[in-house]
Structures are given as C-alpha cells and as structure tokens.
Amino acid sequence: MRQVTIDGVTLHLARPADLDLPWVGREDLVRQVLAAWMVLDERDRPMTPRLVGRPGVGKTTLAFAAARRLGREVYLFQATMDTRPEDLVVSPVVGPDGKIQYVASSLVTAAVRGGVCVLDEGNRMSEKSWASLAPLLDDRRYVESVLTGLQIRAHPDFRLAVTMNEDASTYEIPEYIHTRLQPQIQVDFPEADEELAILRENLPFAPEDLLRYVVGFLQAAHAADEPYGVRDGINAARYALKLARSSGEDPVAWVPRALEQVIGEEALAYLKFPDGS
C-alpha cells in the first residue's frame, strides 16, 4: 500500500480509479470544467465546480473525462447520507500486525498527491461532513484530521469537482459551502444524436435499430420531463439483448419487457412500438 508521512504520522493512501469512462457529449461542458480548474497566475487558485443535473445524465463521466484530460491520477469518492467527516479525511483501521493504521480517503489522497478527486453525489452528505471540507475549498487549501491531529495541505495540482443530483433524496447544501462550490455547471439530458452516440459507445455490439428504438423512447420521456436517463436506456437495451439471445428473437421485440423490468410499467407510455402504435 502506498503511504506518506506527515509530521511523523504515516498515512496509507488510496489507489486512483482505473475506469474506462469516455465522455460522449457536449465538448463545451468539458471546457467549462477545465476552465474552472485553470490557474491564471501565482495569486490565483483553482475553483471547485459543482456539476448539477438529474441522475443518469453523465455528471460523473463528465468530471472523470475532464480529469483525464489533465493527465493526472483520478480518484472517486462516493458520498452518502452516512458519510462522516473522518470518512472524508482519515480513518483508523487495524493493520495486519494488530496495530492501528491511518488510512487517507481517496479525496485526501488526491490532495496529497496532486491528483483530481470527483466527489460524487455531494448533496447526499450532511452539513457536518461538509464543514470538515470548508478549509480545503477556499484559499486555505488544507483539511484537518481530528483523529491524527494533522493539518494536511493540498498539493498545488490538486483539483476537485462535485456532482449533485437534482432529486428529493438529498440535503440542502449550506450557503457557506455553496459559495465555495463554484461555478455551477448544468448537465442536461443529451440531444437525440448525442444520446445515440452514447448508446453506441456503451453497447458497440448492439444492432442499430435497437439503439435508435431506445433513443426514441428516451427522447419522448425527456420531452415529458420524466427522470429517465441514458443509463436507464443503456440498461434496458442491454437487458433486451440478453433476453433476445436466450430466446432467439429480435431484441427490439424485447424492449417493452426490458423497460418494464428496468424502469417500471409506467415507462411504456413513452414507447412508440415498431408498428407505430
């Protein structure tokens, strides 16, 4: 395990994410994230953008892809309602020798190593957890570990992006944190051609008529302001392919069943059947 020693305390570091998450969509969104992270002068500092949108529109993929453009290690931290301040910073664990070891979170590892951290679904965290990150998000650029007594300063190359879902199962972000998470970058549902390209990228083995059929469903659902995202479409198409393989039938014929089981029966209201009905 990688480690670093700060003021006599050894921290065991997390490993970067090694994921294949290509961004297929609006290039201007990537430019906005990279612009927020840019440093113009020695007196300037990077900003911490928050990527806001409904679940499944690609916020995490966008942040990850932008981070890859910088050529640095990328770390993911999945926030939940149970996330504690120590989870964000340093946690104690029992090592193989029975002694306590201190393990840095993926966020702190990124800060120490000058990597990029994507804090996913940040508005699922409580204010207490956010408060522990306040110094990291402003000019101070450090985080404090109560468990170790350390003040851990961020490397100049450290960058952070926060994704936030627009749904009811989230906390309100306190204003003093909100002002530190700027700019806000809105990630909306993609247009039909972008959505088709995303499905092709994720399901290169799927027939074109299946992908176009699913995109038609997604676009109709978007127009009705339904929350179904491209992830739902990918899962439905993938399941339809598996059902078709086991039955020997056309996968398009299995799309209604797949949508019903992946999303729910109510999704069928936005599906235009091949016969036009």
Degrees (nearest 5) of the Cα angle 222, 227, 230? 70
Kind of pairing between the strands at 74-78 and 116-120:
parallel
CB atoms within 10 A of CB 131: 13
Res 247: pLDDT? 84
Supply 116's token pair: 């990029």
> What residues pair up with 187 in beta bridges, in sequence order?
none
Q: Locate the domains of the chain by residue range.
A: 3-186, 192-270
Cα dist. 9→1, 104, 107, 145, 167 in Å? 15, 11, 18, 11, 41
Res 19: pLDDT? 82
CB contact set of 48 (below 8 Å; sequence gap of 6+): 36, 137, 160, 161, 162, 180, 181, 182
Coil, helix or strand at residue 117: strand
Res 215: pLDDT? 96
Q: Which residue type sits at 158? A: F
Residue 207 to residue 82: CA distance in whole angstroms:
42
Res 163: pLDDT? 96
Degrees (nearest 5) of the Cα angle 103, 177, 171? 85
DSSP states along 61-114: HHHHHHHHHTTS-EEEEE--TT--HHHHSEEEEE-TTSSEEEEE-HHHHHHHHT
Res 145: pLDDT? 93
Cα dist. 52→122, 167, 205 in Å? 10, 10, 31
Res 168: pLDDT? 64
Residue 24 to residue 198: CA distance in whole angstroms:
6
Contact (Cβ atoms closer than 8 angstroms) between residue 196 and residue 25: no
Residue 245 to residue 267: CA distance in whole angstroms:
23
pLDDT, one tens digit for every residue, the chain (277 residues): 589 999 999 999 999 998 877 788 789 999 999 999 999 998 899 999 999 998 888 899 999 999 999 999 999 999 999 999 999 999 999 888 888 999 999 999 999 999 999 999 999 999 999 999 999 999 999 999 988 999 999 999 999 999 999 876 677 888 999 999 999 999 999 999 999 999 999 999 999 999 999 999 999 999 999 989 999 999 999 999 999 998 888 999 999 999 999 999 999 999 986 655 5
Res 173: pLDDT? 87
Write down the mean pLDDT value for the chain.
Answer: 92
Supply 58's token pair: 């690609």
What's the CATH fold of domain 3-186?
Answer: Rossmann fold (3.40.50)
Query: What is the per-residue pLDDT across 73-106, written as a single tens digit (0 to 9) for each?
Result: 999 999 999 999 999 999 999 888 888 999 999 9
Res 143: pLDDT? 96
